[in-house]
Structure 1
């Protein structure tokens, strides 16, 4: 596959409906596979105490289970909450991943076509085009699906004490106790993280995919490997903002009721929360759960991109969602 063809593969193949369906399918499958690692990551991110803090800054004893490391955390959850504990929050998370993936891939494709249209005389470099399209699509998808992200975090943070017994009851309680703004706690750091994350991810993916596609890799494809590498690079660079988002998402009247019962009260602003975490936990506190996040992010992105490409070929091959494209979309197709 030539570099030009590889660069256009994600962006121009299939109709808008086929791209949306393929994105939703990839999100659904990816989420179910990595759900236990997501629960572990959230539990570690919300844990404020450290057994290895050299400065001994902890002024209050830890309350609730002590999590340390991916496998020990999995064992603790299994011992205290059983197998279902590893899939807590999976319903809102599945809805989140399906909606997010569908919006993200559709927006990415549409934004790229707009860039092609308005820069046809002076085309952007592929990496710059991918960064702009990826960052914009990621920000738009985050903003539109954010309430589901908050619900996913709160369900995953529950222990055996049920704060929310079902998705409808959670929506009603948050709306009643916190108002509509309660569904958007942490949106600021969420957008601050996702825009550079998706920009870096898609730029790295589109850069790595063409050369890796030329290689004959065992048990994998060039697209899957490119997705893994791109995800690790992007996740490491933006991880502190993801942790801040999680800490702010569980603020409010239920803050002390989660399995990590001594979550501090933060100002709600990105920089204020960053400063509070560094003062209390040191810079290492900004990277709690990074290891499991990387372990989760790499296969999740690989499964997402692998499933997306094959789902898109499947829908295109069957003619599902095929039909006349809008005039503005047809005019941009190369």
Structure 2
């Protein structure tokens, strides 16, 4: 060691350490508070005291709202395809997006998204929560002589889908109505309302058209014209479509996740892949019913001359008028929208559930025997 230098040795007690660094302690005490571990523990206890079904509602709503906002531009384009706007069908996906941007600007991509989010948050919350509750109920009452299998997810998902739709369908009707109105400018009306009237009056100049300016306006005018029943226009094909779709979606997602290792199940990208595959499988089998549903919703708010008596009548009428291909109108863009939407929804739900420390499903006494 060089002359004049002294070895640095640790002090023998804590008091000596404090005496070495008094400025640091004084600064810390003057500008910050020590971490109160009691408060941290209280926060954890608060989370733990939230009922499980409330945690599932929160996780489902957050996941649904986030996913819906991400894919809103593609969702609007898909609705324009489904409702037989000849202009948009001839333009194609990319040109339709560019057309909307030119006519309405960036916010045009999100026209009707407010109503969509208002609908999807309670819908997704109820959907995921109901699925978990139905699943527990089915598993806990499953016969002892056989373990519950894949049928559980199919049944629980189907029941959850039907429950969520019945509770939130009027909001879906409003979302479709507002998204259907294409932007423009005419007569001092709002851009969306005026362009819708202009395009449809070219087709039928003798027809009177209803203009809707917002969520409340749609509710008021539909109920005034058709009663509360009008808010459920198209509920038949919706239920026929959502029951098998929701069942298949949860079934495929859970089966694919079950094939992964524990490490892979915690990987966000693997969850996204499983969710995307689940959405594509479910949507392919049930998409024609979704097309009929949109047509009946447009019919309910006065934007269509075509009248369908029911789901089967709608399927037959569309096939006769436009061919089987029309039953899958917009399916390609629906895949583009659905892949991120369902994938993000499932992944976000699982992540928020882990943040909220929702108990694992494997705790069920019946499932442990499967």
TM range (shorter): 0.7 to 0.9
Cα drift, residue 166 of structure 1: 1.8
- Asked whether 1:169 is paired with 2:213, we answer no
1:148 to 171, 174, 177: 171
- Asked whether 1:194 is paired with 2:242, we answer yes
Q: TM-score, normalised by structure 2?
A: 0.73
- Asked whether 1:184 is paired with 2:232, we answer yes
2:354 to 313, 329, 332: 313
Q: Flag the 1:252–1:310 CA change in 2: closer, same or farther, 3 A.
A: closer
1:230 to 278, 286, 293: 278
The 5 A counterparts of 1:42-61 are 42-47=79-84, 49=86
Q: Flag the 1:148–1:253 CA change in 2: closer, same or farther, 3 A.
A: closer
Q: Flag the 1:65–1:238 CA change in 2: closer, same or farther, 3 A.
A: closer
Give per-residue Cα distances to partners, 1:93-118, cap 9 Å, x unaligned.
Answer: 10111111110111111111111221
CA–CA distance in structure 2, aligned partners of residues 134 and 122 of structure 1:
23
Indicate the residue corresponding to 2:60 in structure 1: 23
Indicate the residue corresponding to 1:75 in structure 2: 98
Q: Secondary structure at the match of 1:164?
A: coil
Cα drift, residue 48 of structure 1: 6.0
Q: Flag the 1:333–1:204 CA change in 2: closer, same or farther, 3 A.
A: closer
CA–CA distance in structure 2, aligned partners of residues 46 and 99 of structure 1:
25
Deviates more, 1:156-165 or 1:126-135: 156-165
Give per-residue Cα distances to partners, 1:165-203, cap 9 Å, x unaligned.
Answer: 121122111111121111100000000000110111111
Indicate the residue corresponding to 1:34 in structure 2: 71
Cα drift, residue 65 of structure 1: 5.4
CA–CA distance in structure 2, aligned partners of residues 216 and 114 of structure 1:
28
The 5 A counterparts of 1:86-165 are 86-119=109-142, 121-159=144-182, 160-162=191-193, 163-165=211-213
Q: Secondary structure at the match of 1:121?
A: coil
Give per-residue Cα distances to partners, 1:44-71, cap 9 Å, x unaligned.
Answer: 001165xxxxxxxxxxxxxx65543221
Q: TM-score, normalised by structure 1?
A: 0.80
CA–CA distance in structure 1, aligned partners of residues 364 and 128 of structure 2:
18
Give per-residue Cα distances to partners, 1:252-272, cap 9 Å, x unaligned.
Answer: 4631xxxxxxx4412241111
Indicate the residue corresponding to 2:331 in structure 1: 290
Q: Which structure: larger Rg?
A: 2
Q: Flag the 1:113–1:293 CA change in 2: closer, same or farther, 3 A.
A: same
CA–CA distance in structure 2, aligned partners of residues 290 and 147 of structure 1:
24
| Bigger relative contact order, structure 1 or 2 (CA pairs below 8 A, ≥6 apart) | 1
Query: RMSD of the alignment, in Å?
Result: 2.6
Cα drift, residue 220 of structure 1: 4.4
Q: For structure 1, which runs of at least 5 residues remain unmatched after alignment?
A: 1-13, 50-63, 256-262, 323-328
Q: Flag the 1:164–1:213 CA change in 2: closer, same or farther, 3 A.
A: farther
Q: How many residues align?
A: 291
Q: Secondary structure at the match of 1:316?
A: coil
Q: Secondary structure at the match of 2:357?
A: helix
Cα drift, residue 81 of structure 1: 2.2
CA–CA distance in structure 1, aligned partners of residues 297 and 344 of structure 2:
27
CA–CA distance in structure 1, aligned partners of residues 114 and 336 of structure 2:
22
Contact 1:114 1:332 in 2 (8 A): no
1:85 to 85, 104, 108: 108
Deviates more, 1:225-234 or 1:308-317: 308-317
